[in-house]
Structure 1
Amino acid sequence: MAHLTTDPTNVARWVVVYPIYINSRKTLEQGRRLGVGYCCDSPTAQEVALVVKANLKLECILEWEKAYPRDFMQRGRVRVQLFDANKKPLNSGIPNRQTLLKYIALQINKIPNRTLPPTDDAAIFAQFVPTATTSSASATPPANASAGGNTNNKKNKKKK
């Protein structure tokens, strides 16, 4: 891209980390970048930013309005300044993007009292659907149900 600068200190050139990159519940096709053994369970962009700022002491920007293209319902990404103006790593322990992702996932797993979302789709769906409190005795039959017999006469006719 010719319009972007090659200066690594420019925010547009910082490393982008979406939480889905280190989510052990996602497949490689869905966007995970590491092996499942290195990943953590359902990380958030806020947790990623917390680890980068507190543990690595690297400059980062949390962008809540951004979404991962393959999973646009999950909001948030973090831009991390990994290199200085001379293209040298700011933290000698984190020389590249893969090492950064592994470190972030490891530290998120160590966060105490981390609350995880429900593991199955039924539990997630149940959060948004109100439960019905009507009993089966007061239930009315559907409007198109007949009192008895078969209403489809074509099936009852004999073929000649």
Structure 2
Amino acid sequence: MAALEWSDALALDLPLMDETHEEFVELLARVEHADDAQLLARWLELIVHTEQHFGMEDQWMASTRFASGNCHSMQHKVVLQVMREGAARAGQGESQVLRMMAGELALWFPQHAQSMDAALALHLRRVGFDAATGVVNAPEALPQGLVHGCGSASCSPSAQPVPA
């Protein structure tokens, strides 16, 4: 059994985001179940998916006035950097580091999804964002200024809550 399995607790009622998250969970499980010969290849598949996954969310934030330096985007950058460093170490023969990292990702992801991604999904629904087309159907609902933090009032002391 994988350390992380898809469940309704991870669903955020934003179909494209949910599909992408479910794929992340599946790819992470492939890493966890890979034998030593397949481990790095599975990890690299996870990195490619995660680059696209985070890039899509970062684009959604940019399109709907989340600040480019917000903590959500910053966390994406840091996680990807660590994943790439793990791949480099595995390429030098330290493949067991990937097994440890996979376990850590399985712990990190639900918290990220249920906090930062949940705040983003709520924001996107409020502004009528169509993830498939990139169209904001309720531009009047866009925040007047950039949303800093993760979009949650509790993200940081300077976070601006997403307007109701």
Report the TM-score range of the alignment, normalised by the length of the smaller protein. Answer: under 0.3
TM-score (norm. length: structure 1): 0.27
When Rg is computed on C-alpha atoms for both structures, the one with the higher figure is: 1
**Alignment TM-score, normalising by the size of structure 2:** 0.27
Higher strand proportion: 1
- Name whichever structure is richer in helix by fraction: 2
Higher relative contact order (CA 8 A, sep 6+): 2
